[in-house]
């Protein structure tokens, strides 16, 4: 006879086993960590076109702000991500740059986009919940949803079959309950339009769908003003922002999540189970940069570098995607480069270990791609890349 206690224990054990199996089945390995494990060649200077980190855009005034606030009372106390200065500064910033008027109840400071997407998955996803994500992209939400045993659908941004995401939903008849977007898109450099957001919002309202947009690159929009999902209202919508890309505060882990007040309220309860907030001097530095409110220099720098990169790449039969946002050059691997590996990851590892050139690999349904960040250290790196590509292309010729 099986007792209730032993039966409960067996059920708990089976749930743990099933979770472990899903962990194994769903490859959660980070492409950035995979690339970091490869040592560069000692024969060449490293050309780092990898992760989008620009160490040159944080000026001394930011460090002075942090240093000054470090000495204030309560600087080392738990912040619980409460910083009225940052909330107030972001309200002004969002209204000026996105045309979105926010109230306190629609906002919450975060320790970066990655944990926020994890918390959102825990809040919004159950077993068998239908989730739709775009790919390629920063699909943290989709990967965690798979671990939670959700049914995750991936809309391919590169395809000839569907007009857009809404066409995909209609033709595939998937009826998602959560749609996770990443616009402006990393790595493709494409933005969403107000027209698309309006159509998507009408669909979401009609079918009670929650919309999430990872807007890490919203401030790097080149052709138009930044387009926010929240321009269509707050109900059942969430948009996430970060200081990492806009202001170069990558390691400080500071950002903002805005949208539906009901989701924000519940999300803060979940957040409290995992952290006690970012150090207040970092939150105050974020406030300082929001008030400064000028990233035109780095926008111009990245777009200029993108065009220079594109002009170099075409000499080697590398066709770079046109962009209207972000600071990435995304390109399909040319035929001559396939002699270095069978897929994007193996080729990227080979380029780093043999030529000290760092790109980020992407395998998609339409082919193998590499991504290059325009946040590299020095403009001279482009001239060195030109020389390095010529050497690589001519190997074995």
All residues at 6 or more sequence positions from 264 whose CB lies less than 8 Å from its CB, including other chains: 105, 106, 107, 108, 238, 257, 258
Same domain, 44 and 173: no
Dihedrals phi, psi of 359, to nearest 5 degrees: -120, 165
Is it true that the peptide bond before 146 is cis, omega within 30 degrees of 0?
A: no
Same domain, 280 and 337: no
Is 7 inside a domain boundary?
no
CB 258 within 8 A of CB 241: yes
Is 63 inside a domain boundary?
no
Q: For residue 245, list its beta bridge partners.
A: none
Q: Is 390 exposed, middle or buried (0-12, 13-18, 19+ CB in 10 A)?
A: exposed
Same domain, 116 and 44: no
Q: Pick from 259, 292, 325: which residue ends a domain?
A: 292
Q: Is 201 exposed, middle or buried (0-12, 13-18, 19+ CB in 10 A)?
A: buried
Q: Pick from 248, 265, 292: which residue ends a domain?
A: 292
The whole-model pTM stands at 0.88
Tens of pLDDT along the chain (397 residues) come to 555 555 555 555 555 455 555 555 555 566 777 787 888 999 999 999 988 777 777 777 777 776 777 777 776 767 677 778 889 999 999 999 999 999 999 999 998 888 999 999 999 999 999 999 999 988 889 999 999 999 999 999 988 888 899 999 999 999 999 999 999 999 999 999 999 999 999 999 999 999 999 999 999 999 888 999 999 999 999 999 988 888 767 777 888 999 999 999 999 898 888 887 776 778 888 888 888 867 888 899 999 999 999 999 999 999 999 999 999 999 999 999 999 999 999 999 999 999 999 999 999 888 999 999 999 988 999 999 999 999 999 986 6
Nearest alpha-carbon partner for 246 in 282, 297, 307:
297
CATH of the domain at 384: 3.90.1150.10
CB 295 within 8 A of CB 246: yes
Domain residues for 45? Answer: 17-57+296-394
- What confidence score (pLDDT) does residue 217 get? 92
Same domain, 97 and 207: yes
Same domain, 40 and 166: no
- What confidence score (pLDDT) does residue 26 get? 55
Is 3 inside a domain boundary?
no
- What confidence score (pLDDT) does residue 332 get? 96
Centre a 10 Å sphere on the Cβ of residue 384 and count the other Cβ atoms it contains.
Answer: 17
Same domain, 45 and 157: no
Q: How far apart are CA 334 and CA 341, in angstroms?
A: 12
Strand-strand pairing, 255-259 and 107-110: antiparallel
Tokens of 189: 């450099």
- Please give the tally of structural domains in the chain: 2
Same domain, 147 and 273: yes
Centre a 10 Å sphere on the Cβ of residue 157 and count the other Cβ atoms it contains.
Answer: 20
CATH of the domain at 153: 3.40.640.10
Is 170 inside a domain boundary?
yes
Is 12 inside a domain boundary?
no
- What confidence score (pLDDT) does residue 295 get? 83
Nearest alpha-carbon partner for 180 in 100, 217, 231, 125:
125
Same domain, 29 and 123: no
Same domain, 284 and 320: no
- What confidence score (pLDDT) does residue 29 get? 61
Tokens of 165: 């995401």
Strand-strand pairing, 237-242 and 210-214: parallel
Centre a 10 Å sphere on the Cβ of residue 72 and count the other Cβ atoms it contains.
Answer: 11
Strand order through the sheet with 328-332: 328-332, 367-373, 360-364
Centre a 10 Å sphere on the Cβ of residue 291 and count the other Cβ atoms it contains.
Answer: 14
Q: Pick from 276, 292, 308: which residue ends a domain?
A: 292
Q: For residue 131, list its beta bridge partners.
A: 152, 178
Is 158 inside a domain boundary?
yes
Same domain, 84 and 51: no
Same domain, 163 and 288: yes
Q: How far apart are CA 290 and CA 284, in angstroms?
A: 10
Same domain, 178 and 255: yes
Q: How far apart are CA 70 and CA 73, in angstroms?
A: 8
Is 8 inside a domain boundary?
no
């Amino acid at each position: 006879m099986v007792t209730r206690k032993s039966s409960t224990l067996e059920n708990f054990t089976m749930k743990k086993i099933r979770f472990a199996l899903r962990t194994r089945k769903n490859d959660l390995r980070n492409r950035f960590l995979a690339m970091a494990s490869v040592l560069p060649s000692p024969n060449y200077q490293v050309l780092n076109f990898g992760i989008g980190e620009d160490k040159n855009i944080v000026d001394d005034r930011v460090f002075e702000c942090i240093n000054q606030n470090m000495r204030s009372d309560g600087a080392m106390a738990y912040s619980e991500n409460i910083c009225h200065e940052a909330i107030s500064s972001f309200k002004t910033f969002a209204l000026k740059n996105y045309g979105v008027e926010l109230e306190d109840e629609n906002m919450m400071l975060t320790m970066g986009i990655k944990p926020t997407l994890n918390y959102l998955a825990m809040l919004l996803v159950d077993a068998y919940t239908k989730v739709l994500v775009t790919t390629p992209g920063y699909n943290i939400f989709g990967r965690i949803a798979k671990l939670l045993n959700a049914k995750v659908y991936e809309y391919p941004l590169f395809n000839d079959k569907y007009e857009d995401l809404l066409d995909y939903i209609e033709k595939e008849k998937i009826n998602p309950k959560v749609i996770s977007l990443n616009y402006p898109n990393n790595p493709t450099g494409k933005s969403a339009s107000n027209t698309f957001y309006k159509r998507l919002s009408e669909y979401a309202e009609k079918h009670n769908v929650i919309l999430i947009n990872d807007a890490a690159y919203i401030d790097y929009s080149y052709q138009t003003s930044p387009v926010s999902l929240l321009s269509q209202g707050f109900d059942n919508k969430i948009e996430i922002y970060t200081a990492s890309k806009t202001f170069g505060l990558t390691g400080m882990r500071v950002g903002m999540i805005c949208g539906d007040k009901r989701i924000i309220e519940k999300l803060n309860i979940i957040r409290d189970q995992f952290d006690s907030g970012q150090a207040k001097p970092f939150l105050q530095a974020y406030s300082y940069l929001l008030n400064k409110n000028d990233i035109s220099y780095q926008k111009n720098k990245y777009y200029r570098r993108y065009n220079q990169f594109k002009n170099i790449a075409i000499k080697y039969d590398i066709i770079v995607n046109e962009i209207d946002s972000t600071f990435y050059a995304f390109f399909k691997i040319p035929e001559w480069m396939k002699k270095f590996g069978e897929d994007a990851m193996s080729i990227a590892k080979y380029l780093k270990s043999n030529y000290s050139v760092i790109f980020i690999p992407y395998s998609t349904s339409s082919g193998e791609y590499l991504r290059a960040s325009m946040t590299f250290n020095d403009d001279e790196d482009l001239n060195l890349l030109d020389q390095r590509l010529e050497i690589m292309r001519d190997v074995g010729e």
